[in-house]
Amino acid sequence: MSQEIRVDFAHRVVFTRGLFDPANRVLVDSLRGGAPRAVAFLDSGLAAARPDLESKLRSSLDGRDGRPSLLEVSIVPGGEVCKSDREVVDAVVTSVDRHHLCRRSWVIAIGGGAVLDAVGYGASIAHRGVRLVRIPTTVLAQDDAAMGVKNGINRFGKKNFEGVFAVPWAVLVDSDLLATLSDRHWRSGFSEAVKISLLRDEAFFRQIELDADDLRQRRLERAIPVIRRCAELHLDHIANGGDPFESREARPLDFGHWSAHKLEQLTSFELCHGEAVSIGIALDTQYSVELGWLPQQESDRVANCLLRLGLPICHPSLSDPRLLEGIEEFREHLGGKLTVTMLRSIGAPQDVNELRSDLISRAIASISSRSTEFSKT
Ligand SMILES: NC(=O)c1ccc[n+]([C@@H]2O[C@H](COP(=O)([O-])OP(=O)(O)OC[C@H]3O[C@@H](n4cnc5c(N)ncnc54)[C@H](O)[C@@H]3O)[C@@H](O)[C@H]2O)c1
Ligand SMILES: [Zn+2]
């Protein structure tokens, strides 16, 4: 006896500015209709850079006029370290217990992609799921991580080994929160925009190419449309791609990611996710050339664009023989047959079911030589 089960989810995403200003109603309006209790978890990097934020948050959620009461604001370690063990996840679950939160109460996660992943995982397992509001505060979290339905932490030295798919209650994106971000983490978020433009939207890639210097130099008015377009494309994939919980073998938006996840691990996370993705994009774009699919000048365009964004396209760990273990780890994570996306042309992806080590070596040699060549120009 088998039955089909259909479930509808709402994925609420709001773009705003000045989210914590008293006149801004977005946060308060997003928390209507639930229980009047909330807890918040704040990325330590953001908390240090914005000491005013905690009190602004507390005064927005003061229990008056139907607003929930904010019962706790916890500062959690920002960056990949918060995904390295269960400490943050346990802190969220414990907080839900201590403050008697029910499933209709609120867990608010404010921070970079790593904090959103770990806090979101805690929120999704307490009572099998308390309402999660994500407030992303890095470029990468705003243009990619917060849009997804994935939550989790690293285990056994493997990225995102433990986690769940869970749709957040709301995602509130405020570009003003990016002001305090380091240059490094500002730049690294644009690799996901390059990635999705190569897969989905050639005109968007041309726009990024055109604006690359402005984006590197943190011109916010140029960056906002790029972040937003990237977020929309990720959201569209979740909502309309037909496989939000990834039951198929292909993971179409993971261009460049088989090597990126392994490079993060091989460098003990010295490379951050966005940088590793940039190198992975350069590698798989050149692999597409080695396959005889993509013209060399298109791969040069991509490498040049990444370099102008201030992103790396190469790293000594690319020659570590353990890099190739990333292929099997990628397959095992998804299950079934190995399926990796390559490029026929910019905006035209195609899946392959094997990765040839001789072509990978040639692609690495090629991007290594161009990395030095382009950085001189
Ligand atoms: N769930 C998903 O679908 C998904 C998608 C893409 C990436 N990710 C994950 O996201 C993580 C990377 O996220 P990231 O690139 O946002 O980096 P990050 O979360 O590691 O944060 C980078 C640094 O910026 C600091 N920071 C955050 N916001 C700040 C601000 N506004 N001002 C000052 N400092 C600030 C943090 O404390 C940290 O030190 C990886 O773990 C990656 O696997 C998840
Ligand atoms: Zn990614």
Q: Which domains are assigned to the chain? A: 12-180 (3.40.50.1970), 183-376 (1.20.1090.10)
Distance 276 CA to ligand 1 centre (A): 13
Is 375 a residue whose pLDDT tops 60? no
Is 63 a residue whose pLDDT tops 80? yes
CB 116 within 8 A of CB 91: no
State the burial class of residue 235 (Cβ atoms within 10 Å of its Cβ: 0-12, 13-18, 19+).
Answer: middle
CA-only gyration radius of the chain, Å? 21
Q: Which ligand neighbours the alpha carbon of 256 most closely?
A: 2
Would you give the distance in Å from CA 118 to the centre of its chain?
12
Confidence of residue 372 (pLDDT cuts 50, 70, 90): low
Q: What are phi and psi of 11, to 5 degrees?
A: -115, 100
CB 173 within 8 A of CB 142: yes
Is 170 a residue whose pLDDT tops 60? yes
What pLDDT, on the 0 to 100 scale, is given for residue 374? 56
Q: What are phi and psi of 105, to 5 degrees?
A: -85, -175
Distance 91 CA to ligand 2 centre (A): 26
Ligand 1 atom 41 nearest Cα? 114
pLDDT digits (tens, 9 = 90+) for 329-365: 989 988 889 999 999 999 999 999 999 999 999 999 9
**Mean pLDDT (the chain, rounded):** 95
Would you give the distance in Å from CA 209 to the centre of its chain?
21
Mean pLDDT of 305-319: 97
pLDDT digits (tens, 9 = 90+) for 14-33: 999 999 999 999 999 999 99
pLDDT digits (tens, 9 = 90+) for 79-98: 999 999 999 999 999 999 99
Distance 298 CA to ligand 1 centre (A): 30
Rounded distance between C-alpha atoms, residue 46 and residue 165, angstroms:
26
Residues at CB less than 6 angstroms from ligand 1 = 43-46, 49, 78-80, 83, 111-115, 117, 137-138, 140-141, 144-145, 148, 150, 159, 177-178, 180-181, 185, 188-189, 272-274
Nearest one of 305, 330, 9 to 165, comparing CA atoms? 9
Rounded distance between C-alpha atoms, residue 46 and residue 147, angstroms:
20
What pLDDT, on the 0 to 100 scale, is given for residue 273? 97
The β-bridge partners of 42 are 75, 110
Is 297 a residue whose pLDDT tops 80? yes
Q: Which ligand neighbours the alpha carbon of 118 most closely?
A: 1
The β-bridge partners of 108 are 40, 133
Distance 114 CA to ligand 1 centre (A): 5
Distance 352 CA to ligand 2 centre (A): 19
Is 371 a residue whose pLDDT tops 80? no
Mean pLDDT of 127-144: 98
Is 376 a residue whose pLDDT tops 60? no
Ligand 1 pocket mutation pick from 140, 164, 183, 194 by most atoms within 8 angstroms of CB: 140
| pTM score of the predicted model | 0.96
Rounded distance between C-alpha atoms, residue 287 and residue 283, angstroms:
6
Mean pLDDT of 254-261: 96
Matching residue, tokens 């959201």: 235
Scored b (16 or more CB within 10 A) or e, 296-318 reads eebbbbbbbbbbbbbbbbbbebb
Ligand 1 atom 14 nearest Cα? 113
Confidence of residue 246 (pLDDT cuts 50, 70, 90): confident
3-state secondary structure at position 252: coil
Ligand 1 pocket mutation pick from 42, 43, 75, 115 by most atoms within 8 angstroms of CB: 43
Distance 116 CA to ligand 2 centre (A): 14
Distance 257 CA to ligand 1 centre (A): 16
CB 233 within 8 A of CB 252: no
Matching residue, tokens 């977020």: 231
Task: Report which DSSP code applies to 172.
Answer: E
Mean pLDDT of 46-74: 95
Confidence of residue 370 (pLDDT cuts 50, 70, 90): confident
Matching residue, tokens 């590698």: 283
CB 238 within 8 A of CB 14: no
3-state secondary structure at position 106: strand
What pLDDT, on the 0 to 100 scale, is given for residue 194? 98
Task: Report which DSSP code applies to 182.
Answer: -
Ligand 1 atom 15 nearest Cα? 140
Q: Which ligand neighbours the alpha carbon of 153 most closely?
A: 1
What pLDDT, on the 0 to 100 scale, is given for residue 377? 45
